[in-house]
Amino acid sequence: MTNPTSARTRAIDAAIDSLDGSFFKALCEPSRVAVLKRVMQLGRADIAEIAEGLPQERSVVSRHLQVLLEAGIVRATKVSRQMFYEVDGPAVVTRLEAILQHMKSLTPFCCPGAPK
């Protein structure tokens, strides 16, 4: 028989892992969100266009784009020697839906809220 305390502990750990993953970590830094906003405004753009108008150096903007890329928030397409970035809307929605479903499945075990 499963110990209710250990099941609750596992559910809590799984919930925290969902919320502490690369997706949310990528969105928790204001300057990275500013880079994301710029990409959203431009649509598809290269690093020069994205960095233009931002206070960071191009190398810093490039690192932010790499984190967003690894988190599945933007996608990159190489054309010749240039890399173009754009927000991957369908992937973001899919990721958010998966996190929501995961949290819904864990809620009864880790954080049921007030009784109704």
Band of pLDDT at residue 116, cut at 50, 70 and 90: low
pTM, whole model, 2 decimals? Answer: 0.81
Q: What is the mean pLDDT of residues 73-102?
A: 93
- Predicted confidence at residue 115, as pLDDT, reads 63
Band of pLDDT at residue 8, cut at 50, 70 and 90: confident
The three-state secondary structure class of 81 is: coil
- Most confident residue range from 7-16, 37-46, 90-99: 37-46
- Predicted confidence at residue 53, as pLDDT, reads 86
Q: What is the mean pLDDT of residues 12-28?
A: 83
Residue 21: φ, ψ to 5°: -80, 180
